[in-house]
Chains A and B, each alone.
Chain A
Amino acid sequence: MKFAVLQFPASNCDQDAVHVLKNVFGHDARLVWHKETSLGEPDAVIVPGGFSYGDYLRTGAIARFSPVMRALLTFAANGGPVLGICNGFQILCEAGLLPGALIRNRSLQFRCEPVHLKTLTTESPFTRRIEAGRILRLPVAHGEGCYYADPATLDRLRANHQILWQYADARGDVIESASPNGSLLNIAGICNEARNVAGLMPHPERACEAVLGSEDGRPIFESMIS
């Protein structure tokens, strides 16, 4: 399979995504510089974590105007699978590919720690290989990961089963203290209505090798690959 991994000037999880796709899963992965206007012909796109343009203004606010984003919009509109991780999730929301926004963590502090995730549906190209009931343990690392949307949007997300992951405790109970950022409904990741574009704050690419302490990120990539 061919993956394109977008590279904004201050993306900093771009290499990690390429490493995992290539060296752990043995697939083709190519970095696509933000000034490029074509994605090549990938089967799927990863929008990786980082700080895109420094993000001093608002996360992803500048990145959405990058030349490469037009190609991404077309790719997504044609049904191509797109996964945004952390800053990638923020950029997808800014670009309007996903509803809602990610605002500052309620603690007003950056948070880096492993969290537990409950997967709400296997009906998506990003979750279909996650065993029912399996609680994933993935790291988060963000200052602005508090998912926010108006009540109507939240209702739609629920009705359409667009909420893919929620922060939970080790047993899978969705409790407020399990969330590192104060997200509404403990939302950690969502997909669009067409289910081909998803974003999540946790970092599955940091949890694909036993030597790093967790392999729970694998089923997310395996879902995309299968």
Chain B
Amino acid sequence: MSDPVITPELIQKHGLTPEEFERIRGILGRDPGFTELGIFSVMWSEHCSYKNTRPLLKMFPTRSPRILVGAGEENAGILDIGDGLAVAFKIESHNHPSAVEPFQGAATGMGGIIRDIFTMGARPVCAMNSLRFGELDSREVRRLFSGVVAGIAHYGNCFGIPTLAGEVYFDKSYEGNPLVNAFCLGVLRHEQIARGAARGIGNPVFYVGPATGRDGLAGAAFASQDLTEESAGQQRGAVQVGDPFMEKLVLEACLELLATDCVAGIQDMGAAGLTCSTCETAARAGTGIEIELNKVPQRAPDMTPYEIMLSESQERMLIIVKKGREAEVQRVFDKWDLPWSEIGVVTDTGRMVVKHGGNVVADIPASQLANEAPVYQREAREPAYLAPIRNDRLDAFPSSTDLEGDLKKLLEWPTLASKNWVYRQYDHMVRAGSVVGPGSDAAVVRIKADSLPPLPAGQRAPDAPEKYVALTVDCNATYVYLDPYEGSKIAVAEAARNLACTGAIPLGTTDNLNFGNPHNPEIFWQLKESVRGLAEACRHFNAPVTGGNVSLYNQNPNGPIDPTPTVGMVGLIEKPEHVTRQWFQEEGDAILLLGTPVDTEDPWLGLGGSAWLKVIHGRKTGRPPRCDLEREKALHDALRGWIQSGVVRSAHDCSEGGLAAALAESCISHQIARGTPRLIGAKVDLSSVACPRTDALLFGETQSRVVISVSEPQTGRVLGQAKTLGIPAIRLGEVGGETLEIRTPDSGLRWELRELHELWWNAIARAMH
């Protein structure tokens, strides 16, 4: 079969502009061949090159004394957690594949992010995810939602990684374009960091893992265009099929091999498969690489060089082995019954040379291919939709006449309701490290000796203390839609607040920028404003960005998704006794609110962009609450101080649904076992809090607030210290009873906990039937 002729149509089909094609000709000094065209098209897709976002990403803070591997250097960033130990973590999207084939799309999203972590030499120890779907009254949305959750469960459970935390939002803007962002964290010793570099001229290049097929052809390019009915149909073949069993074998074999010190470089074949892994490893090392495609294990007959190079078959790794140590690769991979093949060699030419039966089918300068994709400064313009939103006023929404009913509606709103329907499908306890699992503000995982990758045979591990790492993933995209800058700051602030509530200090951030088509100036404005907000807030909380992912073109013919810059944040807890959960613990404890009950300078009193406005009035409008980063950080520092001094019994941040939802969750969210919630009531008095509207007092989402409980005798001390520190704090009431009671300036409200729990716990299960 001969290669097609390169025509303008073919170039366009590859998502390359005429200018980009000229640039390729300039680099090569000639016309590219068909295989080369394919290689450039995937490497210069947004997914691999960040060509539309690179200038923006420079805004992110990326340094701290803890950073061992920084953003953009490798497949994932690595942070020092002390005692010679480190964590590698990253979040990555698999949105388009999940829209087309939810089960495999989500499963392979898990597979991909897990490989990014063990490529760094780390043992993956836990996962999280951030999911967005349309609303559950649509049968198609239910199909996507259940498929995605089952896909994540299938892959993670079989692989043996606990999925410890996550978030799920349901909103019309994601209908037809769900978001599936998967996060993985691994641990390793400092000296175990592996590099994705093709070092050592003359070193052999090994392919390990299952054979290459036609599945997932050019998935990276697929992810870099709008999703349409037509593209979804055509691109079903671009979705890969995941095999978690294979991934488990590849993981164990790679870690075992890395312990032998015979590996010079290692990289997974993720997006853009063999293409990306070969040119990136060569580019990082400043070397060249030459491979022979006939030596690549293939599972489909008659595959062309183009297909082999662009395939995204899963669970494959590229390993550069120190010359003379080839037999060790064979020994380890045979032990795990894994295919392997020596496919090439590291050269000093700086070129990526691909041969097929001895004939050169691609010969490209590796570093220019990997690093010199065009960079675009896109036009940005404030979206037109914001003008009418600015003219909206809170007065247009009548005060609530049924505050008790409103809380119930909020708690059974799927976005706010318990996500147990989701996380009970994930094994969240495997590896005996889950100290706090799903359903509290942030998850906490224990790192112990067996969490780490193996050491060389015969070497004894130095004693290292157990570590407690907290993690959370957050983004209220409604705020971002209404005000990308402020909303993005809030996403970071909420993540940091969730960590503080568990007793953790932030270490670093990974972000997943999910946006629409960047060629639309309004979308690009969202992106720009959002990155500005994220960058400022990450800097403020000393949580530099260590890596992440950009997913653009998240739109379908009905329009773009709400801009969704998902923030994953990782923190460290000094001692296990500091680990704090969100639910009330003891009858008779005092309930305190840290932070201002209502920001009365906010014309929307915290109801702009709120869950209350969405659920009760069906509107997504208003000015989202402001987030003062100074005050926010002071609150976190004070809260951690109290947690460390042992006075805090529970801590829960106020987010969607405001103070009332936070109080209700503190009463009903402790699940002891199947069918066995621990319900513990509260009596709260807000009658002396000045607020023009009681609905805003209960459901407003003023930022920088945390509900804590402390033993009664400690109350005075905490309130006194708060005053000294300048942290607003009031005593709200006390824990106890079988109801939640709130006295407001104009009424007494009362809810039966059994009823609230039932509404909240089973809401998603009801919607799915």
Residues of the B chain whose Cβ atoms lie less than 8 Å from the Cβ of A53: 245
Check if B159 sits within 8 Å of A12, measured CB to CB: yes
Q: Verify if B7 is at the interface (C-beta below 8 Å from A).
A: no
User: What CA separation (Å) do A114 and B670 show in the bound complex?
Assistant: 12
Check if B676 sits within 8 Å of A169, measured CB to CB: yes
Q: Verify if B432 is at the interface (C-beta below 8 Å from A).
A: yes
Min CB gap A169→B, angstroms: 6
Q: Verify if B674 is at the interface (C-beta below 8 Å from A).
A: yes
Check if B426 sits within 8 Å of A55, measured CB to CB: no
Binds A, one of B113-121, B150-158, B386-394, B558-566: B150-158
Check if B336 sits within 8 Å of A9, measured CB to CB: yes
Residues of the A chain whose Cβ atoms lie less than 8 Å from the Cβ of B420: 113
Q: Interface 1/0s, chain A 1-42, versus B by CB < 8 A?
A: 000000001101101101110000000000000000000000
Check if B431 sits within 8 Å of A16, measured CB to CB: yes
Binds B, one of A71-79, A94-102, A137-145, A153-161: A137-145
Q: Verify if A126 is at the interface (C-beta below 8 Å from B).
A: no
Secondary structure call for the B interface: mixed
Residues of the A chain whose Cβ atoms lie less than 8 Å from the Cβ of B428: 112, 141
Please, which residue of chain A has its CB at the minimum distance from the CB of B159? A12
Residues of the B chain whose Cβ atoms lie less than 8 Å from the Cβ of A211: 435, 446, 576
Min CB gap A172→B, angstroms: 12
Check if B674 sits within 8 Å of A115, measured CB to CB: yes
User: What CA separation (Å) do A213 and B435 show in the bound complex?
Assistant: 7
Q: Interface 1/0s, chain B 240-263, versus A by CB < 8 A?
A: 000111101100100000000000
Check if B429 sits within 8 Å of A112, measured CB to CB: yes
Check if A55 sits within 8 Å of B432, measured CB to CB: no
Q: Interface 1/0s, chain B 666-681, versus A by CB < 8 A?
A: 0000011111100000
Check if A141 sits within 8 Å of B430, measured CB to CB: yes
**Cross-interface CB contact of B249 among A9, A137, A206, cutoff 8 Å:** A9
Min CB gap B585→A, angstroms: 14
User: What CA separation (Å) do A16 and B249 show in the bound complex?
Assistant: 18
User: What CA separation (Å) do A55 and B158 show in the bound complex?
Assistant: 9
Check if A143 sits within 8 Å of B432, measured CB to CB: no
Residues of the A chain whose Cβ atoms lie less than 8 Å from the Cβ of B331: none
Residues of the B chain whose Cβ atoms lie less than 8 Å from the Cβ of A177: 675
Min CB gap B103→A, angstroms: 13
Residues of the B chain whose Cβ atoms lie less than 8 Å from the Cβ of A206: 429-430, 432
Q: Verify if B424 is at the interface (C-beta below 8 Å from A).
A: yes
Min CB gap A91→B, angstroms: 15
**Chain A CB within 10 Å, residue with most, of B159, B336, B432:** B432
Check if A112 sits within 8 Å of B432, measured CB to CB: no
Chain B residue total in the interface (Cβ 8 A):
39
Residues of the B chain whose Cβ atoms lie less than 8 Å from the Cβ of A205: 432
Residues of the B chain whose Cβ atoms lie less than 8 Å from the Cβ of A13: 160, 430
Please, which residue of chain B has its CB at the minimum distance from the CB of A51? B158
User: What CA separation (Å) do A49 and B423 show in the bound complex?
Assistant: 19
Min CB gap A207→B, angstroms: 9
Min CB gap A31→B, angstroms: 11
Residues of the A chain whose Cβ atoms lie less than 8 Å from the Cβ of B675: 169-170, 177-178
Q: How big is the A interface, by class?
A: 35 or more
In B421-473, the 8 Å CB interface with A consists of 423-435, 446, 448, 450
Check if A19 sits within 8 Å of B432, measured CB to CB: yes
Residues of the A chain whose Cβ atoms lie less than 8 Å from the Cβ of B576: 211
In B56-108, the 8 Å CB interface with A consists of none
Check if A9 sits within 8 Å of B245, measured CB to CB: yes
Q: Verify if B337 is at the interface (C-beta below 8 Å from A).
A: yes
Q: Interface 1/0s, chain A 126-157, versus B by CB < 8 A?
A: 00000000000101010100000000000000
Min CB gap B503→A, angstroms: 14
Residues of the B chain whose Cβ atoms lie less than 8 Å from the Cβ of A114: 672-674
User: What CA separation (Å) do A18 and B767 show in the bound complex?
Assistant: 42
Please, which residue of chain B has its CB at the minimum distance from the CB of A52? B245
User: What CA separation (Å) do A51 and B528 show in the bound complex?
Assistant: 45
Check if A111 sits within 8 Å of B424, measured CB to CB: yes
Check if A110 sits within 8 Å of B425, measured CB to CB: yes
In B681-712, the 8 Å CB interface with A consists of none
Q: Verify if A199 is at the interface (C-beta below 8 Å from B).
A: no
**Cross-interface CB contact of A212 among B157, B336, B434, cutoff 8 Å:** B434
Q: Verify if A118 is at the interface (C-beta below 8 Å from B).
A: no
Contact A113 B673, CB 8 Å, known A50-B160, A139-B429, A141-B427:
yes
Min CB gap B149→A, angstroms: 9
Q: Verify if A60 is at the interface (C-beta below 8 Å from B).
A: no
Residues of the A chain whose Cβ atoms lie less than 8 Å from the Cβ of B245: 9-10, 51, 53-56
Check if A112 sits within 8 Å of B446, measured CB to CB: no
User: What CA separation (Å) do A206 and B244 show in the bound complex?
Assistant: 22
Residues of the B chain whose Cβ atoms lie less than 8 Å from the Cβ of A110: 153, 157, 424-427
Check if A10 sits within 8 Å of B160, measured CB to CB: yes
Min CB gap A200→B, angstroms: 15
Contact A180 B430, CB 8 Å, known A51-B158, A54-B245, A110-B157:
no
Check if A51 sits within 8 Å of B160, measured CB to CB: yes
Check if B425 sits within 8 Å of A111, measured CB to CB: yes
Check if A170 sits within 8 Å of B672, measured CB to CB: yes
In A196-226, the 8 Å CB interface with B consists of 203, 205-206, 209, 211-213
Please, which residue of chain A has its CB at the minimum distance from the CB of B673? A114
**Cross-interface CB contact of A143 among B157, B671, B676, cutoff 8 Å:** B157
Q: Verify if A104 is at the interface (C-beta below 8 Å from B).
A: no
User: What CA separation (Å) do A205 and B450 show in the bound complex?
Assistant: 14
Check if A20 sits within 8 Å of B426, measured CB to CB: no
User: What CA separation (Å) do A26 and B150 show in the bound complex?
Assistant: 38
User: What CA separation (Å) do A169 and B252 show in the bound complex?
Assistant: 39
Check if B424 sits within 8 Å of A54, measured CB to CB: no
Check if B432 sits within 8 Å of A212, measured CB to CB: yes
**Chain A CB within 10 Å, residue with most, of B157, B243, B336, B433:** B157
User: What CA separation (Å) do A144 and B318 show in the bound complex?
Assistant: 35
Check if A20 sits within 8 Å of B157, measured CB to CB: no
**Cross-interface CB contact of A18 among B153, B435, B450, cutoff 8 Å:** B450
Residues of the A chain whose Cβ atoms lie less than 8 Å from the Cβ of B244: 10, 51, 54
Residues of the A chain whose Cβ atoms lie less than 8 Å from the Cβ of B426: 110, 112
**Cross-interface CB contact of A19 among B248, B427, B430, B448, cutoff 8 Å:** B448
User: What CA separation (Å) do A54 and B245 show in the bound complex?
Assistant: 5
Check if B160 sits within 8 Å of A19, measured CB to CB: no
Residues of the B chain whose Cβ atoms lie less than 8 Å from the Cβ of A12: 159-160, 248, 430-431
Contact A116 B432, CB 8 Å, known A12-B159, A12-B248, A110-B157:
no
Residues of the A chain whose Cβ atoms lie less than 8 Å from the Cβ of B252: 9
In A160-190, the 8 Å CB interface with B consists of 169-170, 177-178, 180
User: What CA separation (Å) do A190 and B279 show in the bound complex?
Assistant: 56
Inter-chain pairs besides A12-B159, A113-B424, A170-B672, 14 sampled, C-beta below 8 Å: A12-B160, A15-B450, A18-B450, A19-B448, A19-B450, A51-B157, A53-B245, A54-B245, A109-B153, A109-B424, A112-B425, A169-B675, A170-B673, A205-B432
- Name A's B-contacting residues (CB within 8 A): 9-10, 12-13, 15-16, 18-20, 49-51, 53-56, 109-116, 137, 139, 141, 143, 169-170, 177-178, 180, 203, 205-206, 209, 211-213
23 contacts between A and B (CB under 8 A): A10-B158, A10-B244, A10-B249, A12-B159, A12-B248, A12-B430, A16-B432, A18-B450, A50-B160, A51-B245, A54-B158, A109-B153, A112-B426, A113-B673, A113-B674, A114-B674, A141-B429, A143-B157, A178-B674, A180-B674, A203-B429, A205-B432, A211-B576
Closest 7 A/B residue pairs (Cβ): A12-B160, A54-B245, A114-B673, A16-B432, A141-B427, A51-B158, A15-B450
